[in-house]
Amino acid sequence: MATWEKLATDDDVLTLRSEKLTRAVERSLIFGSVMEAANASAEKAFRHEYYNKTAGIITVHTDFEQGPGYQITVPYTPSVFNAGVQGDARAKDQSINLTIDGLNLRYSAVRLPFQSSGKVQEKYSVLKFLDVAEGSGKRWFPRQIEGSIWTQLNGLSSVVNTSRLTYLNIPNSAGTITDIMGNTVSSTAHDAAHILYAPFDGSITTNAGVAADPTATLSASGLDLIIKELFQDSDEPPEMIDVGGNQRPGVFMFLDYEGMNQLRADPAFQRIFQQTSGAENYLAKMACGRYRELILVEYSHCLMPIANVMQGLICGRNSLQFVKVSGIEPWRGTDDTHDWVKLYALAAMYGAVPTYFQSARKTTWAVRYYVTATS
């Protein structure tokens, strides 16, 4: 039976190797520029060069670096809408009942194990086994972390395009997802008020209704209705994110390539559509552009709850909580029965959970529209 130990006895060598690997992985994260620190101790949690230090979709915690434990409770209070107390009016008579909801955020560990082909094969190879293993890890871990974040943001416990889950290294059983890095995926993640069905005028209110209507697609008029729902009709509008540069704040809308093509085919969309190349935020800069308050990101890993129905996602500030317990560390396995085989693993500890308040999600909206794909 194998036992595991850290790769190097020289702590400086181990620290340098871990730091270089962690930096390379975190720079590859598409969500790196929309992460913000929960507190001062988390300011340097991520090495992404475009790390958002003001406001982001994802709030990063590093509480476990300070001590042991398997979960933290994140206090969350929604935005307050009140005229305030003016003049000499009694504050006591107009006090706000401040409700603080605790959100449990847990973490788990994931390891990517490797095994060499044997002493002779290692001798034949001009490449070093450890370098090749770490090269694979640099490509694997960004998908793993991105997949955990994306799947939790979506809140779908069952999807039909399972190839997306496979690519993102998300464990599932025929498209059914129950747990990601210690945090449960709820089958009722979005309440009815936070699921919007094309054409967004209230005529369709179910996934089956969208799947049965090929005209239930994205359009400029549909986006106008979405914006009205988010910022005029919602009891709690999403908090917009400052993307810097010459761009005004906005919320991010993730959609697949077919949904983006539906919009591009609409002349009314083209008249209002703007480029975001002047933004400072990396994700906003790389977005397709923006439509009023919506910063449109064409994302190839959008998920489908049923055939012919794609789920896009609108995210405001503080949509997800992420805890980083450790960076990506190399470990070596030793096994007396495999003297001629090298065992090696890369390991990380983290967790992600969507932001809830009183069992409801307030900061994300699921946008469901018709697509030709069935899986």
Q: How many domains does the chain have?
A: 2
Residue 332 within any structural domain of the chain: yes
Q: Are residues 153 and 171 in the same domain?
A: yes
Same domain, 203 and 293: yes
Residues 117, 20 share a domain: yes
- Domain match, 28 and 149 both: yes
Q: Is residue 92 part of a domain?
A: no
Note the pTM of the prediction, 2 decimals: 0.85
Asked whether residue 91 is assigned to any structural domain, the reply reads: no
Note down the domain range covering 298: 190-316+362-370
278 occurs within a structural domain = yes
198 and 273 fall within a common domain: yes
Q: Does 32 fall in a domain? A: yes
Residue 60 shares a structural domain with residue 120: yes
Is residue 88 situated within a structural domain?
Answer: no
Question: Is residue 344 a part of any domain in this protein?
Answer: yes
Q: 23 and 152: one domain?
A: yes
Same-domain pairing of 164 and 54: yes
Task: Give me the CATH number covering residue 268.
Answer: 3.30.1930
pLDDT in tens, 249-303: 899 999 999 999 999 999 999 999 888 777 777 788 788 999 999 999 999 999 9
Do residues 265 and 345 share a domain?
no
Secondary structure letter of residue 166 according to DSSP = H
Helical segments of the chain, H only: 11-27, 119-124, 129-154, 162-167, 207-211, 220-228, 257-264, 267-272, 282-286
Residue 178 lies in a domain: yes
Check whether residue 122 and residue 215 sit in a common domain. Answer: no
- How far is 375 from 370, CA to CA, in rounded Å? 13
Examine the domain organization and report whether 176 and 133 are in the same domain: yes
Q: Going residue by residue through the chain, which has 375 residues, state the pLDDT in tens, using 9 for 90 and above.
A: 445 444 444 555 556 677 788 888 888 888 888 888 777 666 666 655 555 555 688 888 876 655 566 777 777 666 666 667 777 767 666 676 666 667 788 888 888 887 776 666 655 554 577 777 788 888 898 899 999 999 999 988 889 999 888 888 888 888 888 888 888 887 667 888 899 999 999 999 999 999 999 999 999 999 999 999 999 998 888 889 888 777 888 999 999 999 999 999 999 999 998 887 777 777 887 889 999 999 999 999 999 999 999 999 999 998 998 888 877 877 766 554 555 666 777 888 888 888 877 667 888 999 999 999 888
**Pairing mode, strands 251-255 and 309-315:** antiparallel
Judge contact between 247 and 258, C-beta under 8 A.
Answer: no
pLDDT tens digit sequence for 44-96 = 666 555 555 556 888 888 766 555 667 777 776 666 666 677 777 676 666 76
Together in a domain, 309 and 341: no
